[in-house]
Every structure is written in structure tokens, then in C-alpha cells.
């Protein structure tokens, strides 16, 4: 007969992990980030609730409910596909894809292609139209990834006056005279 130490404590262990994660997230996020996340969450809940209430009480016809919910879903899908455009701008400016993960771009493109095909085969315009927007945006992201993937990350050169970062390099004569003085780590 073996004794399992965690047999009765599995629930406590999972609760501890959850509480640690929540505690760590709240400590690492600034109050501004928490307010912003709370505001966005509130907006999403309000939009969902208003949509549910309007489609339930104002529209008694299935066709009108489908058009209302489909239109709101269409706007949300287009916003989802357009959201990475901020990162696309940063990739073009820095000429580095470090801010744009490949798998996110690739699977977003693949999902767009598959939902577009399904929407066209089922003759559903509300399903196909956001993916008509998502398809070229996904192609744009993949094209930028292919163009800038071999570029190295642009790093700042170490400060010439920073003696800790330039230990291996030969120091100029004017720096050798002040090595014992406090320069407060400024350039």
C-alpha cells in the first residue's frame, strides 16, 4: 500500500497555484494597466448584454436576430484581424519581427482562409465578409515576416563611458584617468 502525500491536498495545491498567479499578476501590473483591463472587460460585457437584450426582447423574428448578432460579430472579427496592424507598423519601422510571433500570424491566416471557404460554401455573407478582410491582413503579416525574419535585433551600442560594459575593450586615455571617480553610470 503506497501513501500519496498529495492525495488530500490536490485541491489546496491547485488553489494555491491559482492564488499565487493572481497575486503575482496584480503585483506586476500597474494600477493604470488594471484600470485599462477592467474598462475593456466592462465594455465587452456591456456590449454582450445589450446585444442579448435587444435580440431577445426587440426582435421576435429569427432572421432579424441573425442579422443583428451577425453584424456585431462581423465588426468584432474585423477588429480582431485589424488589431495586429499596430505591430505591423513597429515591424516596418524597426525592420525586425521580434514583436510579431510567426505562429500567431500563420494560424490567424489559416483560420481566416478556412472560415472564408466555409462562409462562401454555405453562402453566408456575415461569415465570409470579415474573413475577406482577414485574408489580406494575414498575407501582409506573413509577407512582412518573410521579409524581415533574417534581420537581427537592433541593439543599442554600449555606452562608451560605461566601464562595466566595456571591460574587454581598450579604454581611451582620457577614460583611464577617471576610472576611480564616480561618474554615476551616466554617459
Res 15: pLDDT? 58
Separation of alpha carbons 16 and 31, rounded Å: 24
Residue 10 domain-assigned (yes or no)? no
Instruction: Please spell the DSSP secondary structure of the chain, one letter per residue.
Output: -PPPTTTTTHHHHHHHHHHHHHHHHHHHS-HHHHHHHHHHHHHHHHHHHHHHHHHHHT--SHHHHHHHHHHHHHHHHHHHHHTTHHHHHHHHHHT--TTS-HHHHHHHHHHHHHHHHHHHHTT-HHHHHHHHHHHHHHHHHHHHHHHHTTSPPP-PPPPTT-TTTTSSSPPPHHHHTTTTS--TT--
Rounded to the nearest 10 degrees, the angle between the axes of helix 31-57 and helix 62-82 is 160
Residue 138 domain-assigned (yes or no)? yes
Q: Residue 131's closest CA among 49, 65, 121? A: 121
Please give the model's pTM, rounded to 2 decimal places: 0.55
Res 114: pLDDT? 94
Residue 52 domain-assigned (yes or no)? no
Sequence-distant (≥ 6) Cβ neighbours of residue 124 within 8 angstroms: none
Residue 123 domain-assigned (yes or no)? yes
Separation of alpha carbons 71 and 124, rounded Å: 12
- The ranges of the chain with pLDDT < 70 are 1-29, 151-187
Q: Note down the domain range covering 142.
A: 80-151
- Answer for the pair 130, 72: CB distance below 8 angstroms, yes or no: no
Considering its fold, how many domains does the chain have in total?
Answer: 1
Res 1: pLDDT? 47
Res 32: pLDDT? 82
Res 88: pLDDT? 84
Residue 100 domain-assigned (yes or no)? yes
Residue 84 domain-assigned (yes or no)? yes
Res 31: pLDDT? 79
- The domain that holds 93 is classified in CATH as 1.20.1280
- Answer for the pair 138, 104: CB distance below 8 angstroms, yes or no: no
Res 5: pLDDT? 47
Residue 18 Cα to chain centre, angstroms = 22
Residue 137 domain-assigned (yes or no)? yes
Amino acid at each position: 500500500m503506497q501513501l500519496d502525500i498529495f492525495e488530500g491536498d490536490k485541491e489546496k495545491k491547485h488553489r494555491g497555484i491559482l492564488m499565487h498567479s493572481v497575486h503575482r499578476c496584480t503585483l506586476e501590473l500597474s494600477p493604470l494597466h488594471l484600470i485599462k483591463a477592467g474598462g475593456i472587460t466592462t465594455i465587452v460585457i456591456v456590449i454582450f448584454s445589450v446585444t442579448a437584450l435587444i435580440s431577445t426582447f426587440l426582435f421576435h423574428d429569427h432572421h432579424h436576430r441573425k442579422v443583428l448578432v451577425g453584424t456585431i460579430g462581423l465588426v468584432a472579427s474585423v477588429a480582431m484581424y485589424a488589431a495586429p496592424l499596430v505591430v505591423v507598423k513597429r515591424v516596418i519601422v524597426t525592420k525586425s519581427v521580434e514583436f510579431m510571433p510567426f505562429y500567431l500570424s500563420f494560424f490567424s491566416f489559416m483560420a481566416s482562409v478556412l472560415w472564408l471557404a466555409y462562409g462562401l460554401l454555405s453562402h453566408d455573407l456575415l461569415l465570409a465578409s470579415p474573413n475577406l478582410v482577414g485574408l489580406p491582413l494575414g498575407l501582409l503579416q506573413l509577407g512582412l515576416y518573410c521579409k524581415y525574419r533574417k534581420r537581427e535585433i537592433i541593439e543599442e551600442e554600449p555606452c562608451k563611458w560605461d566601464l562595466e560594459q566595456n571591460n574587454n575593450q581598450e579604454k581611451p586615455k582620457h577614460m583611464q584617468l577617471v576610472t576611480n571617480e564616480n561618474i554615476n553610470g551616466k554617459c
